[in-house]
Amino acid sequence: MHIWKPISAAVACASLLLSSSLASAADSVKVGFVTTLTTPAAVIGNDMKDAVDLAMEHIGGKMAGKPVDLIMEDDGFKPEIGKQKADKLVKQDNVDFVAGFIWSHVLLASRKSVLDAGKFLISANAGPSPIAGKLCHENFFSTSWQNDQTPMAMGEVLNQKGVKSIYIMAPNYAAGKNMVAGVERTFKGKVLGKDFTKWGKDAQLDFSAELAKAKASGAEGIFVFYPGKAGGAFIKQYTQAGLEGKVPLYTVFTVDAIALPKLQKGGLEGVLGTENTQQWSPDLDNAANKKFVGDFKAKHGRYPSFYAAQAYDSIMLIKSAVEAVKGDTSNMDGMRSAMKSANYESVRGKYTYGNNHMPIQNFYLRKVVKDADGNWTTKITKTVYTNHQDVYASECKM
């Protein structure tokens, strides 16, 4: 007798769970969003979350008339946790889309869980080379870029400026390697030295030895990729080492709307005037971007970062897919072909998708400036690439 009681209770609970998830699957669109909400990198994840929340507000919490069930998950900056969360989203929550992913190594660890479950995987940031090439998949889409593209644009800028030699520094992980490969692919001058520094939870943040080497190398410029808090730390030490004004700094994904307010508060004037490349900037002149940046600033009192812009786009891309099939989320083929046409108002302006479902888009050179209110932000100074496609697309059999 006693043994039956808990079992029957468990069965009742399970069936309740099952029926509730079936019921909600029928009348709502379920979107899982994986980003980093703890550890110091949470500052990036929170920026993305704010953008997703804003997107949800803008669409009134509905896609094709159906309520959107948004489930936020924290990857803790760790590939294994990211994978666990992706598993949970597709198996337990039975979501239709898994979006997000700041980090290349987290995305690479999680992709199989999502794609094997037959769900759509939307990267709102990470763009490691395998996913654009050999591991490309019909149900994967990106609202960001392939890792190599932004540094390739920077290499092109260096050529145009007539820079003859550079020193390169990047963190030692998948994206760091891609970034360095990218700039080396297009930069025609000499690379006088290269440092890959320790990355992850106990990442190296003191670059004294590397900066001394860069200075001694006699390079005409320094190229770095340091996302998140490492970026701010690098800029400070670059200034403290007295390289500002002597060896110009060229960055990708380092000086952004997350680092700038902190650098401004710390009075690091040295960053003003430095240049970086990106597919988006808060001053891009199109209706969707004006609405996004304006409302984001009004709500949070700060500029959105490119992470935020891509997260916002990911929700809009999903919305365009759900609306194309009139809310019938079982129609995978319909949603896939809708996403492939990128038929939505992206904040970066119009772009298209390549065979590997990576955006073919413009890349701009951005300069760090003071805006009318005295806040530090980035401003586009020129277009480096028009409709640029990543180099791994040819490796993708799709």
Partner 1 sequence: MDYSLLFIQFLNGLQLGVLLFLLASGLTLTFGIMDFVNLAHGSFYMVGAFICASLTFWTGSFLWGVLLAIPLVALVGLATELIVVRHLYRRDHLDHVLATFGLILVFDTLVQMIWGAAGISVPLPQWLDGQVTLPGEIVFPTFRLMIIGGGLLIAAGLYYLVNHTRLGMLIRAGASNRTMVGALGIDIKTLFTGVFALGAALAGIAGMLISPITEASIGMGNEIIITAFVVIIIGGIGSMKGAFVAALLIGLIDTMGRSFLDDIFKLAMSTEAAETAAPAVSAMLIYILMAIVLAVRPQGLFPPKVR
The footprint of partner 1 (CB under 8 A) covers: 38-40, 42-43, 46, 172, 194-198, 201-203, 205-206, 208-210, 212-213, 216, 229, 232-233, 236-237, 239-242, 262-263, 265-268
Q: Which is nearer to partner 1, 174 or 263 (CB)?
A: 263
Cα–Cα distance, 105 to 121 (Å, whole number): 15
Cα–Cα distance, 180 to 188 (Å, whole number): 14
- 201 by Cβ neighbours in 10 Å (0-12 / 13-18 / 19+) ranks as exposed
Tokens coding 19: 């029926």
Measured from the CB of residue 8, what is the shortest distance to partner 1 in angstroms? 38
Helices (H), ranges, the chain: 4-27, 42-58, 79-91, 104-116, 129-132, 149-161, 174-186, 208-217, 229-240, 259-265, 287-300, 306-324, 332-340
Q: Which is nearer to partner 1, 311 or 324 (CB)?
A: 311
Give me the residues paired with residue 62 across strands.
67
Q: Which helix (H) or strand (E) holds 191?
A: strand 190-197
Q: Which is nearer to partner 1, 243 or 332 (CB)?
A: 243
Measured from the CB of residue 376, what is the shortest distance to partner 1 in angstroms? 13
Measured from the CB of residue 202, what is the shortest distance to partner 1 in angstroms? 4
Measured from the CB of residue 32, what is the shortest distance to partner 1 in angstroms? 22
Question: In whole angstroms, how large is the CA radius of gyration of the chain?
Answer: 22
Q: Which is nearer to partner 1, 60 or 267 (CB)?
A: 267
Measured from the CB of residue 370, what is the shortest distance to partner 1 in angstroms? 17
Tokens coding 376: 């530090």
Q: Which is nearer to partner 1, 61 or 242 (CB)?
A: 242
Nearest Cα residue to 222 out of 276, 269, 268: 276
Amino acid at 72: M
Measured from the CB of residue 195, what is the shortest distance to partner 1 in angstroms? 7
Q: Which is nearer to partner 1, 18 or 212 (CB)?
A: 212
Measured from the CB of residue 43, what is the shortest distance to partner 1 in angstroms? 5
Contacts of 179 (CB under 8 A, 6+ apart): 147, 148, 150, 151, 170, 225, 252, 253
Nearest Cα residue to 279 out of 226, 348, 352: 348
Q: Which is nearer to partner 1, 30 or 177 (CB)?
A: 177
Q: Which is nearer to partner 1, 241 or 332 (CB)?
A: 241
Measured from the CB of residue 77, what is the shortest distance to partner 1 in angstroms? 10
Q: Which is nearer to partner 1, 19 or 240 (CB)?
A: 240
Is the distance from CB of 255 to CB of 231 less than 8 angstroms?
yes
How do 165-171 and 190-197 pair as beta strands? parallel
Measured from the CB of residue 374, what is the shortest distance to partner 1 in angstroms? 17
Q: Which is nearer to partner 1, 46 or 165 (CB)?
A: 46
Measured from the CB of residue 307, what is the shortest distance to partner 1 in angstroms? 14
CA neighbours closer than 13 Å in the CB half-sphere of residue 110: 39
Contacts 24+ apart (CB under 8 A), 158-163: 158/183, 158/187, 158/189, 158/221, 158/223, 158/250, 159/186, 159/187, 159/188, 159/189, 163/189, 163/220, 163/221
Question: Beta-carbon neighbour count of residue 151 at 10 Å?
Answer: 28
